[in-house]
Amino acid sequence: MAGTRFATVWDPDEGWMTATWFQGPAPDFIAASRPASRAGGSILHFLGGQTADVVGERAVAQTKIGAPQNDRHRNQRRDGRVISTEERNRATGHGTAEAVAMKAIVQDSYGEAEDVMRLAEIDRPEIGEGEVLLRVRAAGVDRGVWHLMTGLPYLLRVIGYCGVRAPRTRVRGSDVAGRVEAVGADVTGLRPGDEVYGVADGAFAEYAVATADKLAPKPRNLSAEQAAAVPISGLTALQAVRDGGQVQPGQKVLIIGASGGVGTFAVQVARAYGAHVTGVCSRAKVDLVRSLGADNVIDYAVGDIADDGQRYDVVLDIGGHRSLTHLRRALTATGRLVIIGSETGGRWLGGFDRSLRAPLLSRFVRQTLTMLANSENASDLMVLTDLIESDEVTPAIDRIYPLSETPAAIRYLIDGHAQGKVVVTV
């Protein structure tokens, strides 16, 4: 590799070109990138009489100039025959110039899943120095997918979380489980072939890109589909119980929305932290919540969280849009409220105003009222892995859809039918 040089090369058909050239015992190939002006230097003869002016040596990383910038230079000559870019890249260690196609669910405008999403072939994504390319095996579906797909509430567009008039990226999906296909130069601790799970960009596809700090080894006792159900919902639940609620053994914890993606994890994590757990859900989902370890379950259509005389040390509000006054009535005098989700259907704020008001009100009362901003990180994924491998937490999966039916998977979740998680298999 020390013999790799940066050169100006003469080609009878193309004229003078900038190129990388590997100097071996018998130099036999070049990798031309763009036309260049002739520079002075030693004249070297190779490639059947062609010449190259050596204008300077470069470190290996600097000589990886990538694909030809002009299609005219896509194929180079080798001993009188044409060599392909792919052959050149294998010889030089350069990245592949030709794009590799993959299947993905794409969208080009905002709207509902069945209107804007479609299965298509697109270029496989490229990775940066600190990134990982994953061969996706399964991807989880969560409400965040719907918000980015529709661009609602509009607040997301105002703050730059997504594009103003159209989606900033074409492929949705964040929860992922898969196999490491390639790693960037700065990635340590992961290598091709590793089975991982975590958070990626564009998981509704055959390949997706993730940063290494959002991936962890897949729990040994989970399938890819089960692992894909964990990351965002599991991280949110863990951080709500441990950080927002600061749950301690023996405390009474109320979980509103206990049958959803985050709720099913929150029930189990709170139990693992030694809490006495009461879950709130619809009648059809009572058995599920009880099976996850909840000590008590309230059917929200029959009972009210504040009218039975019970007071809770911690309330995790994951579903619905109860007023802060109502939620405070369910708390002890010094209890903690953690607002995790709120869905009102409002097109501008979507219920987020309550999350903003909670910490403001908290300054004037003895109770602690907070909203949760979850963090996607490998360290907490490892905490979840420990809970999963010790059988304290198990993903609750309702349905699994093939990639081509991703719009139906999103619709099933948003319509409120899901008991636990919905997963797409790739």
Residue 205 tokens read as 């596809």
Quick one: pLDDT at residue 339? Answer: 96
The pLDDT tens digits of the residues spanning 276-296 come to 999 999 999 999 999 999 999
- Tokens 């490639």 -> residue: 47
Q: Which backbone phi and psi does 273 adopt, to 5 degrees? A: -85, 5
Q: Which residue has the higher pLDDT, 86 or 264?
A: 264
The pLDDT tens digits of the residues spanning 186-223 come to 999 999 999 999 999 999 999 999 999 999 999 999 99
Same CATH topology for 101-230+417-425 and 233-371: the answer is: no
Q: Which residues contact 333 (CB under 8 A, 6 or more apart)?
A: 366, 367
Mean pLDDT of 285-312: 93
Return the beta strands (E) in 14-147 as ranges: 15-22, 30-35, 43-46, 50-57, 76-78, 81-83, 101-106, 118-123, 131-141
Cα→Cα distances 73→13, 83, 268, Å: 10, 11, 59
Residue 284's CB: how many other CB atoms inside 10 A? 11
User: What is the identity of the amino acid at 404?
Assistant: S
Please state, rounded to an integer, the average pLDDT across all residues of the chain. Answer: 82
The pLDDT tens digits of the residues spanning 77-104 come to 333 333 333 443 444 344 444 679 999 9
The pLDDT tens digits of the residues spanning 332-357 come to 999 999 999 767 677 888 778 898 89
Q: How far apart are CA 77 and CA 425, in angstroms?
A: 44
* CATH fold for domain 101-230+417-425: Quinone Oxidoreductase; Chain A, domain 1 (3.90.180)
pLDDT exceeds 90 at position 372: yes
Domain boundaries, the chain: 4-92, 101-230+417-425, 233-371
Quick one: pLDDT at residue 34? Answer: 36
**CATH number given to 233-371:** 3.40.50.720
